[in-house]
Amino acid sequence: MGDDNLAVKELVETIKTNPSFEDAKGLASILSQNYYAMGLKNFHKRKYKSALSSFSKTLDLNPVMLSSWVKLGETYAAMGLNSDARLAWLEGLKIDPVNEQLRKLLGFDDNKTIEENLYKKASTGIKKEIKSLEIKDLGKIGQESIKNAIYAVQDSRTSKGTRVSSAIKSVMALTRSLGTKIKEDGWRAKSIGGNLSVQYLCKQDRGGKFEAENFEWIVDPDTKQVTPSNENARLLISRW
């Protein structure tokens, strides 16, 4: 009937209700590519409001399309809406935390901030490079198991497939981009009743006073099963 807007609305609702419906996903893919092409055309013609509308519809249909998050941010930036641009790029970074283009657009200095190169080495054994690690109350568990527990948490995945260590970095970057001050004390671990408690310690400025906003997990030292044990960790797992 030529009503693409209604098609988008119906497709989004259909896929939300039945994510495995292949026909709906196929049509959504076609429409998202059409809207993306339209957005690029309007962007190059400096028709930024129209470009925003097209890129937004693209992401409604395909929220993991990185190129559209990039162009959405660039469109906001071209309109002088730098805060909105950063938010768009940070959304893209949630999907691919090590994406070089997005990190450059956000002004991240990977030589100083990126931690993936460190934690990729975990599979070859415990490395001395890990920082901000405090070992407490070892009991019979031992330092090696403590470190392995920290790596297990860092390498575990959120519901969207993001590594926990990368998801935490994205949360910190997003919070700072919104103007909130944060103090990060890094990873800590200790034994609790035969299991291991792993925390990422950080504090957030609330009215001039820094209050704890830690992320906490419980790790079974035998199975390496990782379970979020506080609300911040559960939110991280479900949203990032």
DSSP state letters, 49-85: HHHHHHHHHHHHH-TT-HHHHHHHHHHHHHTT-HHHH
**Residue 103 carries which side chain, given as an amino acid letter?**
R
Q: Give pLDDT, residue 70.
A: 93
- The CATH 1.25.40.10 portion of the chain extends over 4-105
125 dihedral zone (left: phi>0; alpha: psi -120 to 50; beta)? left
Model pLDDT, residue 220: 83
**If you count them, how many residues does the chain have?**
240
Residue 170 has what pLDDT? 86
Radius of gyration of the chain measured on its C-alpha atoms:
21
Q: Distance (Å, rounded) from C-alpha 172 to C-alpha 126?
A: 26
**What are the residue ranges in the chain where pLDDT is below 50?**
112-141
Secondary-structure class of domain 4-105 per CATH: mainly alpha
Q: Residue with structure tokens 């497939």?
A: 161
Return left, alpha or beta for 173; rule: phi > 0 is left, psi -120 to 50 is alpha, else beta: alpha
CA quadruple 197, 203, 204, 207: dihedral sign: positive
**Predicted local distance difference test score (pLDDT) of residue 65:** 86
Q: What is the DSSP letter of 124?
A: G
